[in-house]
Amino acid sequence: MDLQTAEKEVKELHNLLNQYNYEYHVLDNPSVPDAEYDKLMQKLLEIEEQFPQLKTPDSPSQRVGGSVLDAFEKVQHEIPMLSLGNAFNEQDLRDFDRRIRQAVGDDFSYVCELKIDGLAVSLRYREGVFVQGATRGDGTTGEDITSNLRTIRSIPLRLNENVSIEVRGEAFMPKRSFEALNKVKEDKGEEPFANPRNAAAGSLRQLDPRIAASRNLDIFLYAIANPEETGVASHSEGLDFLDHLGFKSNKERKKCGNIEEVIEFVESWVEKRPSLPYEIDGIVIKVDSFDQQRSLGTTAKSPRWAIAFKFPAEEVVTKLVDIELSIGRTGVVTPTAILEPVKVAGSTVGRASLHNEDLIREKDIKIGDIVVIKKAGDIIPEVVKVLEDRRTGEEKDFAMPTHCPECDSELVRIEGEVALRCINPKCPAQIREGLIHFVSRDAMNIDGLGEKVISQLFAEKLIEDVADLYKLTYEQLIGLERMGEKSVNNLLKAIEASKENSLEKLLFGLGIRHVGAKAAKTLAQEFDHIDHLSAATFEHLIAINEIGDKMADSIVTYFELEEVKELIEELKLAGVNMGYKGPKPVSAEESDSIFAGKTVVLTGKLEQLTRNDAKEKIELLGGKISGSVSKKTDLVIAGEEAGSKLTKAQELGIEVWNEEKLLEELNK
């Protein structure tokens, strides 16, 4: 076969295989037997082996391939993947409807869709070819899982049109695939997955795409990231456009003219939910018109034009066999119900939080009671109520202890709080939990020091406070269980590297009460060094934006403690950085930058900066970033494939820069 003939054959095979794949995995209506598909695929593989130059990224043969990854690369979402606000009952839906009517009037419609219980992902296509797939992550930064998403056969590698587009969807594991996977795991003596959502997420985070391919995942696409660039005017039109391009959307959707129709749709699926071949955990309701969506806008976390109705949690009955107590890093004593294991919402539950003593009294919970439990939000197990008519008289009252179960110090209840606390700073449980917090990702981020390792080091008396982490030696670690030479060396390197962290990481890691990660950064930027912060007065602290009375009082009290002063000195001697290393924002009044006091809109794709990098740099120079173009906009930064925002800026006569101009000004 010559090259010209091979090219023609490959093109025909691509068309046939893509058609048969679409019929089987999207339409669920195959037109040829599996054997015919396999025969054509084998023929394609043979031609590609003979003519490697004909093997393209969108070839049906490229579903599974490539080497095992070392790690997933980070991906910045140019358009954030926002989460949805929740509704739990009919009144919540009516309140949502009222807010929409107040904002846009009565002339609008809703689209209702099933809320698939899986993993949110984003797919990018360039001129019709699939080029990248990513997880949602925190909404602004996800992970590149392209090689794993390629294995999902309902994701087209080439679209029906040569468009450049980004779409969002939910990857999931069908019930049949979930049951088959867990049977294999059980046969091997491995722990089964708790539910299809966990199984799907675990499968897509495998570094070997062959594992993901074996899990038989599926996907429904539900949104276009930047719909104004496609010419469609509404969400329902957008879903039809996705179908036209060859994507798989969920057909169990309905356009509703009013909230009564929405409620009727929701109620119908509460009953029909178990009949589906995949898991759903609610219904998503969206305002259909894109113009009205833009008018309604978004909050920092979620769109105002959409809401997710969450199905009532499944309730089951089991026996409460005991109540255990645990001490957190702030000394709070938390009671936990120990249950006879029971399956709830797809996973086996043996424990449920009882929160505090007041809740136990309010619900009249006794050891030995038969109780009703559910998973709040389908996630966290909780005791709903006691079935008093099933009591036998053998149940036992539970009383909270007067002394800490870990250190035997007297427990106290601080005025205005419901929780009991151990206030002994030397309490082993608090120290252990504080150590776990100190090494966590948002704090000092010491890789390899997880909860189990910390507990092991603490039990062996190798560490008693966070300063002891920086005194650990190779000789101390190599003798511990599950600690080989490579693990020890990697751990010591991670501990050494953490000394260079900026001040905000250390402040958050120290676990000062009421000081979260955001407040820690604000304090680090304001005071620049821990010595300056430790000397700060209450008045100075409350004068800082975002620092309230409680937090200010907690900070002053913390740094007055002698043991804290000693700890800081020990950390300094160990070489831990005490200063802020990041850039400091300036106010518009203080800045002489061209961005000072200006409202800036970013649109399109930037090549040398991520959207977040550009936003941070502009804000540090006194600028304000806005998500939409209006008469109040001073400047628009337009990257590649800039769409309607650029057009609107041009219509309003607003100054527009390209990325080159932006970098030039930033470098000044």
CB within 8 Å of 70: residues ≥ 6 apart: 207
CA angle 63, 19, 35 (to 5 degrees): 75
Query: Which of 192-196, 353-357, 365-369 shows the lowest per-residue confidence on average (mean pLDDT)?
Result: 192-196
The reported pLDDT for the residue numbered 153 is 92
- In whole numbers, what is the pLDDT of the chain averaged over residues? 88
For the entire predicted model, the pTM comes to: 0.55
Q: 251: exposed, middle or buried (C-beta count within 10 Å: 0-12, 13-18, 19+)?
A: exposed
> At the fourth CATH level, which superfamily is domain 428-498?
5' to 3' exonuclease, C-terminal subdomain (1.10.150.20)
The reported pLDDT for the residue numbered 646 is 86
pLDDT digits (tens, 9 = 90+) for 299-356: 767 899 999 998 877 788 999 999 999 888 888 888 999 999 988 766 788 999 888 8
Establish whether domains 428-498 and 503-573 are of one fold: yes
pLDDT digits (tens, 9 = 90+) for 438-455: 999 889 999 888 888 998
Of 196-205, 467-476, 510-519, 657-666, which one has max mean pLDDT? 467-476
Q: Answer whether 43's CB lies under 8 Å from 13's CB.
A: yes
Structure tokens at 536: 């700060």
CB within 8 Å of 417: residues ≥ 6 apart: none
Report whether pLDDT(103) > 70: yes
pLDDT digits (tens, 9 = 90+) for 493-513: 999 999 999 999 999 999 898
pLDDT digits (tens, 9 = 90+) for 219-251: 999 999 989 888 899 999 999 999 999 999 999
CATH of 86-310, one of 2.60.40.1180, 3.40.630.10, 3.30.470.30, 3.40.50.620: 3.30.470.30
Residue 495 CA, chain-centre distance (Å), reads 27
The reported pLDDT for the residue numbered 439 is 93
pLDDT digits (tens, 9 = 90+) for 249-295: 999 999 999 999 999 999 999 888 888 999 998 999 999 999 999 99
How many Å apart are CA 627 and CA 629, to the nearest integer?
7
Helix, strand or coil for residue 280?
strand
How many Å apart are CA 422 and CA 161, to the nearest integer?
65
Report whether pLDDT(142) > 80: yes
H helix runs in 288-327, sequence order: 290-296
Domain-wise residue ranges, the chain = 3-62, 86-310, 313-421, 428-498, 503-573, 599-667
Domain 313-421 of CATH type 2.60.40.350: no
How many Å apart are CA 88 and CA 648, to the nearest integer?
39
CB within 8 Å of 35: residues ≥ 6 apart: none
**Domain 3-62: which topology?**
Helix Hairpins (1.10.287)
The reported pLDDT for the residue numbered 393 is 93
> At the fourth CATH level, which superfamily is domain 503-573?
5' to 3' exonuclease, C-terminal subdomain (1.10.150.20)
Report whether pLDDT(588) > 80: no
pLDDT digits (tens, 9 = 90+) for 384-406: 899 999 999 999 999 888 999 88
What is the arithmetic mean of pLDDT over 472-489? 88
How many Å apart are CA 132 and CA 151, to the nearest integer?
13
Q: Answer whether 466's CB lies under 8 Å from 446's CB.
A: no
The reported pLDDT for the residue numbered 188 is 73
Three-state DSSP string of 143-156: EECHHHHCCCCCCC
How many Å apart are CA 102 and CA 105, to the nearest integer?
6
Query: Which of 23-27, 354-358, 582-586 shows the lowest per-residue confidence on average (mean pLDDT)?
Result: 582-586
User: What is the second-level CATH architecture of the domain 599-667?
Assistant: 3-Layer(aba) Sandwich (3.40)
CA angle 280, 284, 288 (to 5 degrees): 145
E strands, 299-366, are 306-310, 315-327, 333-344, 347-353
Choosing from 11, 115, 550, 661, the catalytic residue is 115
DSSP calls for 14-29? HHHHHHHHHHHHTSS-
Q: Which amino acid is at 189?
A: G
Q: 185: exposed, middle or buried (C-beta count within 10 Å: 0-12, 13-18, 19+)?
A: middle
For residue 398, CA distances in Å to 327, 351, 363, 422 come to 18, 17, 12, 19
The reported pLDDT for the residue numbered 229 is 83
Residue (of 295, 304, 223, 238) closest to 628 by Cα position:
295
pLDDT digits (tens, 9 = 90+) for 54-76: 888 888 887 765 556 667 888 88
The reported pLDDT for the residue numbered 130 is 94
Q: 193 or 53: which carries more pLDDT confidence?
A: 53
How many Å apart are CA 514 and CA 550, to the nearest integer?
7
Structure tokens at 412: 């106290």
pLDDT category of residue 32 using cuts at 50, 70 and 90 = confident
343 noted as active-site residue: no
> What percent of the chain has pLDDT above 70?
95
The reported pLDDT for the residue numbered 561 is 87
pLDDT digits (tens, 9 = 90+) for 483-495: 888 889 999 999 9
The reported pLDDT for the residue numbered 230 is 87
pLDDT digits (tens, 9 = 90+) for 626-647: 877 888 899 999 888 777 788 8
pLDDT digits (tens, 9 = 90+) for 108-137: 999 999 999 999 999 999 999 999 999 998
Report whether pLDDT(421) > 80: yes
